[in-house]
Structure 1
Amino acid sequence: MSIQQDATRAPLGLPGAAATPVPDPRPAPRRRPRRSRHRNAWEGRPTVLGQGLKGAVLAGVVLAVLFPLYTVVLTSLSTTADVNRSGGMVTVPGQLTLAAYQQILSGGIVTRAALVSIGVTTVGTVLSTTVSVLAAYGLSRPGSVLHRPILFVFLITMFFGAGMIPTYLLVSELGLINSYWSLILPGAVSAFNVLILRSFFMSIDPAITEAARIDGAGDWRILGRIVMPMSRAVTAVVALFYGVGYFNAFFNAMLYINDNVKWPLQLVLRSYVLQGVTLPGSGTGQVDVATGAVTGLPVKMAIMVLAIVPILLVYPLIQRHFTKGVIFGAVKG
């Protein structure tokens, strides 16, 4: 061993001993990364002018969406004098009244049409969602019988359709003309929604279902106890798609329903509001202005509000599932 090494190991205080360096307990200062002179626009701190422009644009978009709804609701709550004074749609509130809603909800054709739409939407949504879930679960199991040919048939229906006349002849041969089932069965299953559900079911870890199968669970129990609780979001989104489709549909009613008593609300809205047809029993005729009753325009706007309200009430209940369900249930390539 050399003398120099012995010197470094000598104890402190001895002559010629080298002092052992003591580490600094304070952490070393972090070096800031060097910023590039060329920074992207979204990486910089927003300026007051930029924030003001963004706020103005967002306020304009919100105003463009809410102002038509505001005028429709306000016109439906206005009297005939206010409508005549404004020359059409009311933008400044005057004397507010519920006379238009009392007229359309007094037991006429509008009330029946609202009940028909709610009933068809409820039954159709439950039926379509149930059939779609069962079909998607069967098509997502690799060992299911003929799942590939059936899947191919589903894909064909997305690009090729029979057409209006063959569909009408089929509905007529089944005896569904002037029946509520003609509003549900022709479009009961959407191939696109089935593919969304199938894609989500296939993304579930197979180990979970295999473990349940080892414990003795069958396909029905696996679907009801394991798969469905894990797929509430995508099922809620598919149910929303079906519900909005049934509630807004009017073309099937125009083709297959001959009795106006069985018309859904959207067909009444189309016939009265857009085409100006006076519907019997709707209470939409001209009324005496001196009594404070309303004429046709507020009643038309009241029917529009009545057609919008159910969707506005249902959507917030499943809005939290909407984005999650669309992303998780998306068809991936």
Structure 2
Amino acid sequence: MRGEAVASAALMLLLLTPAVWRTVNSSPSYSISISVTPEGGSVGDSFTTSVRVTVHGLQAGTAYVTLWTRDPGGAERYYRQSPQWTYADMPVDYRTAWTLTSDKAGTWTSCVSLVFDGEAPDGSGYQEITRCVYFEASDSGGGGGGDDPPPGKKPTKLTIAVNPDRVPPSQTFSVGGGLFDASQSDWWNYPIAGATITVTFNGQTKTATTSSSGGWSVVFTAPSQEGTYTVRASFAGNSQYDGTSASATVRVQRPSKKNCIIELIYPEKVHVGDFVNITVVLRDAETHQEIRGRPVILYVDADSHEIESGSTFTIRAEYPGTIDVGARFEGDEQYDAAYDPGGLIEIWTRPSIEITHVGRGGE
């Protein structure tokens, strides 16, 4: 009976092991649903977009959702970005809704994008899945509809760039671009001055006014959490020009640290009563340039002392034996940690000469 039980347990383990392996190594899964109510109406009517997103099994990287609505002219009328989720937030069931009032005839587009950054369902390191719904607003007054701008208005071109496009957490970066008259084939020669540009990033909203060259810029502070974030800029339009929008991404990540090495400079042998100088030098592992002023922990036997790199620590050898020395640098924002196990300093008794007899030759 005992043998049968062992065999049965072994068989059960073989049957269960592949299933467990697939669960641990599977890619994340998701579901997206988006709807608009109603799906059509007249200019002036309101419509509500509802979204539900679920994410399961994310083990690495982040996932987040961006939501937006654009009017028939392409101008962004609504934008939001969810928090960034990690494995600690699994499973995620995100639900939201927003309501807008149509003030233009044509097709209003509402979308949701689910972004995986680091681990994606398709097996890559980055994937963006977008779903959209549409609200058709008819012009009961018989005016121009569809996607064409209202009569007399000109199309516009909005450019956007992020500088730098990779930034450390909690550091500032700039977003800028230009607004131009897109009715011209060489639109870059036809800037639009005095227009208001609305820029959104990670829940923050800022505005800028275009200069005589059409240029605009704002400054944001990157969040503390690493990931890829979307920056969106929009021009709502005016009596002369139609609205438009543009977007760019910024990567928030900590810079890679450099390697460093510790050099301990000390004598190998001293005598009782001598002063012993121990110097700690920290160097860049690639350039070998000395790095001064960083806190380093110096170990002397059972004691530890914090000193600055490049400085000298002095002790007195009081007894014969050995002194065990070592040093550690804990690292900082620029350099990784480093350790030098050091070695032993031998302490010898100073030899003495005892004179027992003084005499002349032959005595």
Q: TM-score, normalised by structure 1?
A: 0.18
Q: Which structure is larger by alpha-carbon Rg, 1 or 2?
A: 2
Q: TM-score, normalised by structure 2?
A: 0.17
Give the number of the structure whose residues are more often helix, by fraction: 1
Give the number of the structure whose residues are more often strand, by fraction: 2
